[in-house]
């Protein structure tokens, strides 16, 4: 077993668990709730296809810094009937060494597609 990276040792940072020997960076996702969403939805973040059930607010991940990384957030629900729409947002990050903070924005009245917007 390999030793965790320095970033993976930071409390509160979810480590990158797929094979990757290159440099890594910190990705922080802000997932604000929209009032009613707290009871109706569970936020799920995905890094390169690996899904994590996360909490509302800020969540941090260790991600590769030297290659593209697919990041998505969707809101899972078991409530509703028939064709309940699951809001989602998705982006492919380009290689870059600097930490990154993304804000998840959903506008239910505009449909299910949201956006991940860089902050700072």
- The structural domains of the chain, ordered by start, are 7-118 (2.60.40)
Asked if the model's pLDDT at residue 100 lies above 60, the reply is yes
Q: Indicate the helix (H) or strand (E) that contains 37.
A: helix 37-40
79 and 65 Cβ atoms separated by less than 8 Å: no
| Phi, psi angle pair for 108, to nearest 5° | -50, -35
Of 7-11, 26-30, 57-61, 97-101, the range with the lowest mean pLDDT is 7-11
Instruction: Look up the pTM and report it.
Output: 0.89
User: How many angstroms from the chain centroid is the CA of residue 51?
Assistant: 9
Percent of the chain at pLDDT above 90? Answer: 64
């Amino acid at each position: 077993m390999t030793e965790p990276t320095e970033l993976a040792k930071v409390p509160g940072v979810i480590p990158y668990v797929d094979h990757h020997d290159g440099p890594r960076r910190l990705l922080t996702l802000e997932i604000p709730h929209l009032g009613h969403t707290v009871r109706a939805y569970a936020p799920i973040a995905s890094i390169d296809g690996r899904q994590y059930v996360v909490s509302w607010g800020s969540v941090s991940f260790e991600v590769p810094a030297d290659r593209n990384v697919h990041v998505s957030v969707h809101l899972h629900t078991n409530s509703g009937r028939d064709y309940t729409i699951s809001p989602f947002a998705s982006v492919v990050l380009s290689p870059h060494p600097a930490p990154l903070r993304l804000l998840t924005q959903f506008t239910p009245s505009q449909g299910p597609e949201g956006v991940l917007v860089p902050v700072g």
